[in-house]
Structure 1
């Protein structure tokens, strides 16, 4: 039974300490059922697994003045945690900044992002650099923001201070990153880093491509996607994944593979996990939605590294998602200014895809055709990324005591991606014009609306997920 229309039409009061969110399709870890979630002081304080008038009377008596937000049969799901986002501020704010990126996140049902350590200047490779980035982000974010640290040659002595500051883990590259200020590491660098980090509980994430000295045929047409695809063969990923799996097993150390694109790696990954190694692996929206055969000549907005591969590879990745070999799905939102996409030349264009705002719709459109349930989608987009980032005690699922982060969405309603509706700074995206299922109706961050009825809230409400001493330093400056 749905709450009466008078209550369901009540607007959320920004100064209300106590409110309830109600849905007939509330997504928990292993079930979807009617529920009423009571929110007090930013946290879920009570869950009633019903929505009838008895619940209304009970809560109205227990919490005088409680505000009800009834969403009927719309899906109420934990807010999405996107653990792989390149914000680029400071230094390359013309590519993307915290203000625009987190607005895009809010519009897409994302309530927490984890910012990658590179493409900003300076990169997040020292404590001082983290402070610079955090000062830039402070009071600009519409969702909560966590931070990755970076591993580059020679910065091993900086890592513990970054852990103490509250970063979620570290990322390194096994091949050139594309920006000079974030050089890739050698095998020896990785071994030194793992030995430095072994006493900690942190995670080391890898861009898993290992470059080979294979020469391109200069006669190949740079406007054709296949020309670029041949420069990043599956073996580049497979070679890197073999190294990572060996390190993970040898040292029994948490390793994470970011943006896996090649299904050739799935058997090795599954075997390594079966042997008990603490390995996790993500893939991205674009690898599960797009296919190389469908990329038109010259449309460099489709370029990313590792590359989008063939349709058969895409279907194998979906199989890896369904059987648990792949743990999570993230955006790898990596925008740039339009001129860096050098339209028409896949060999010189910047490799990155903008998709932060549309992940839920992209994945649901594909997942609904493959028998994947709402709680599987929630696990892949919310609880598993939260766990990777060490945020599982406060983010990623609907449990008493956790942050009241929700996305309310309509799985039956479709959207069309238009430039005017895009919140991230540069609107270039391979998804423009696509019609997708799954419309975000509202996004709730710690009990307060940050997106509702097609609009972003008036002021940033996000927090920086860093340790208190770092935040205190930033707030007093």
Structure 2
């Protein structure tokens, strides 16, 4: 093992055993030990004391649309991973759609990897995609190292990534079961969508009515039934409907192998505060009412919801037209997820270790990233150093996202990311990000 070269010390280090004063010894790219706070550094090691700033495990964001290549005007690996580093995210997994080509074959994956390799400021892995007709590509993609497979149960919004009907969903799951893989699902039901009222225009209430809770609830029921029948491992993406929570809790209790994520915007923004025409707030499924949000927080607390990830889905400003029916749906929040969630969590009485579990430990476990997600011996030396009691007001001009359209503009948030460390190297400090040093990850890293 390399000799310890760095000891990072704080009065508040978030470890698997809780938050405590500690000195984290780093050898090469890994954590060698978590020592008592007042332990003497090994000979030759540099001591860096960050005082009362919180040392968190680097965040793991398993739901990011980088869109590179093909739609890199929306977002690219340089800007996305720079924003991640500035926001305390040290690992992200890229979604298989919105780039051209989509990650639905091994050759397409290789194209994506070659584009990402020289640009990555943080570690980057890839999901594969399931679309009609590519069942024969799934095992090769699995063998090539993707972390699992994404599908839609309703139209995705881009023609090159069609949805699966129930029969194709079952067929895909049977194929994925054969090699022990994971299916992650955009769970909105197309029939419930078709039966909802649809009106064009700037009114957020009309958009919300076009995607009622039953759209998600019906899709979740389908997914649970199929997963139970086949004993498949599945994951519900970006849950926003509180109506699906009892279904998910019951399924988990019955042994169905299902996990669930939600997103910062569902936990921090409410339908009541969305101005008409403000399509920077548009996403699918939608931001719902405050009472719905309260239920999501309760589900995080009781474990029905496992993790919180960004669903960073950016676009160019011109696609955010004032008409909620036609504007692109997606929230840009990769750089802001940690302070946004921490601001709401502290108000609701959750400690910082809850946020670390939801945004680092649980997403790492979902993806099987055994070297990520904890400040513990043997893990990668990935850290986010956070000043939890400092505030800042979101100025889009200071974001690293390629297009600085954000629903958080003008909001005052708690939690300033002071520095981000990736595998023992400081990659960002005070919002300034260094040269790309991220690695491309494959499953079982």
**TM tier, smaller:** over 0.9
Match of 2:439 in 1: 463
> Which of 332, 356, 373 is residue 378 of structure 1 equivalent to?
356
Q: For 1:329-386, what per-residue CA distance to the aligned partner results, in whole angstroms no more than 9, with x for missing partners?
A: 01000000111111x2111000000000011100010000111112111110001000
Match of 2:286 in 1: 307
Query: Contact 2:147/2:442 (CA < 8 Å) preserved in 1?
Result: no
CA–CA separation in structure 1 for the residues paired with 2:365 and 2:443: 18
Match of 2:212 in 1: 233
Q: How does 1:358-369 map to 2 (within 5 A)?
A: 358-369=336-347
> Which of 93, 96, 99 is residue 114 of structure 1 equivalent to?
93
TM-score normalised to the size of structure 2? 0.97
> Which of 87, 103, 128 is residue 107 of structure 2 equivalent to?
128
Match of 1:356 in 2: 334
Q: How does 1:38-53 map to 2 (within 5 A)?
A: 38-48=25-35, 50-52=36-38
CA–CA separation in structure 2 for the residues paired with 1:125 and 1:36: 44
For residue 398 of structure 1, report the CA deviation from its aligned partner. 1.2
For residue 214 of structure 1, report the CA deviation from its aligned partner. 2.2
Q: How does 1:272-287 map to 2 (within 5 A)?
A: 272-287=251-266
TM-score normalised to the size of structure 1? 0.91
Query: Contact 2:93/2:126 (CA < 8 Å) preserved in 1?
Result: yes
CA–CA separation in structure 2 for the residues paired with 1:439 and 1:86: 24
Match of 2:429 in 1: 452
Query: Contact 2:4/2:25 (CA < 8 Å) preserved in 1?
Result: no
Q: How does 1:179-258 map to 2 (within 5 A)?
A: 179-212=158-191, 213-214=194-195, 216=197, 220=199, 222-258=201-237
CA–CA separation in structure 1 for the residues paired with 2:33 and 2:329: 45
For residue 41 of structure 1, report the CA deviation from its aligned partner. 1.3
Match of 1:13 in 2: none
CA–CA separation in structure 2 for the residues paired with 1:216 and 1:273: 32
Further displaced range: 408-417 or 17-26: 17-26
> Which of 72, 75, 86 is residue 93 of structure 1 equivalent to?
72
SS of residue matched to 2:332: coil
Superposed CA RMSD? 1.6
SS of residue matched to 1:463: coil
SS of residue matched to 2:174: helix
For residue 211 of structure 1, report the CA deviation from its aligned partner. 1.7
Query: Contact 1:36/1:47 (CA < 8 Å) preserved in 2?
Result: yes
What are the ranges of 5 or more consecutive residues in structure 2 without an aligned counterpart?
none
Question: Larger C-alpha radius of gyration, 1 or 2?
Answer: 1
Q: For 1:288-314, what per-residue CA distance to the aligned partner results, in whole angstroms no more than 9, with x for missing partners?
A: 111111100111100000001111101
Matched, 1:396 2:377: no
Match of 1:290 in 2: 269
SS of residue matched to 2:406: coil
SS of residue matched to 2:428: strand
CA–CA separation in structure 2 for the residues paired with 1:346 and 1:112: 32
CA–CA separation in structure 2 for the residues paired with 1:286 and 1:46: 36
SS of residue matched to 1:163: helix
Matched, 1:405 2:392: no
Query: Contact 2:93/2:127 (CA < 8 Å) preserved in 1?
Result: yes
Query: Contact 1:30/1:375 (CA < 8 Å) preserved in 2?
Result: no
Match of 2:120 in 1: 141
For residue 198 of structure 1, report the CA deviation from its aligned partner. 1.2
CA–CA separation in structure 1 for the residues paired with 2:196 and 2:272: 23
Matched, 1:435 2:422: no
What are the ranges of 5 or more consecutive residues in structure 1 without an aligned counterpart?
1-15, 472-477
Query: Contact 2:153/2:164 (CA < 8 Å) preserved in 1?
Result: yes
Q: For 1:415-472, what per-residue CA distance to the aligned partner results, in whole angstroms no more than 9, with x for missing partners?
A: 1110221001000001011000011000000010111133111x1010000379xx9x
Structure 1 residue runs of 4 or more that deviate by more than 4 Å after TM superposition: none
Query: Contact 2:55/2:383 (CA < 8 Å) preserved in 1?
Result: yes
Query: Contact 1:331/1:355 (CA < 8 Å) preserved in 2?
Result: yes
SS of residue matched to 2:336: helix
Query: How many residues are aligned here?
Result: 442
For residue 247 of structure 1, report the CA deviation from its aligned partner. 1.5
